[in-house]
Amino acid sequence: MFGGTVRGKTTTLRVPRDTDLDAHRRWAADMRVRRAGPIGRWHEPAASETWKEGWTEQAKDKTSVLWSIDAGDARDQPVGYIRIRFEGAPHSDKVLLDQFVIDPDRSGLGYGWDAALTLHRWIFDYMHLRMAVVDRIAADDVGRQRILEKLGHERFGHGHRVYYRDGAYVDQYLYQMELEAWDDRWSGEREYPPLGDEKAV
């Protein structure tokens, strides 16, 4: 399915539009994105019609959610996208961060951090899910690791020599964050107070 509007401070997660397709297609072919590993790539580079077919299937898929990341660009173009998957759907209490891409030409401007914080507000505050997991991230992907650790994710797994690129093997890390950690660290990010004792529900 496509995600609805979730507003952050500098970014907004919004429903993908057909006008976003060119940007998604361009990122899929950008080696700066592709070399980041599986979390940096949704599909292989493809023609516009193939992407449209993929989005049609995404709209029907109840086990995943796709957002475009908007930053109020005057060109009305997204600065990235996020895709999550529910583990154990339809009765899921855990979500996997499947894809998290920021336009390499717009990196370093804080969009990744704000979009990640906004996504976690949706996961823990709106949906009240129990856990967020990043099940695959390259060990040399320092930017995403910093964002996850700043949010409060803990590294719980280490795969050795998982990716091969640039003539060498790269390790893989796994991260997770539980609802309790979110409440402890980011209670000020809630847009409404909890109703009664949520732990007793």
The structure tokens listed for 56 are: 């049609």
The CA radius of gyration of the chain, in Å to the nearest whole number, is: 17
Compute the C-alpha angle 60/54/105, nearest 5°: 120
| Banded pLDDT at 13 (limits 50, 70, 90) | very high
**Edge-to-edge strands, sheet with 154-165:** 6-7, 12-14, 64-70, 80-87, 94-102, 131-138, 168-178, 154-165
Residues 6 or more apart whose Cβ sits within 8 Å of residue 131: 93, 94, 95, 176, 177, 178, 179
Residues 44-70, mean pLDDT to the nearest whole number: 83
All structural domains of the chain, each given as residue ranges with its CATH number in brackets, are 6-193 (3.40.630.30)
**What is the pLDDT at residue 194?**
54
Q: pLDDT, tens digit, for every residue of 136-168?
A: 888 888 888 999 999 999 999 898 988 777 788
Closest to 132 measured CA to CA, from 182, 94, 99: 94
Averaged confidence pLDDT in the chain = 83
Between residues 59 and 191, which one has the greater pLDDT? 59
The Cα-based distances of 193 to 72, 124, 196 in angstroms read: 29, 13, 9
Q: pLDDT, tens digit, for every residue of 65-118?
A: 999 999 987 567 899 999 999 987 666 789 998 889 999 998 889 999 999 999
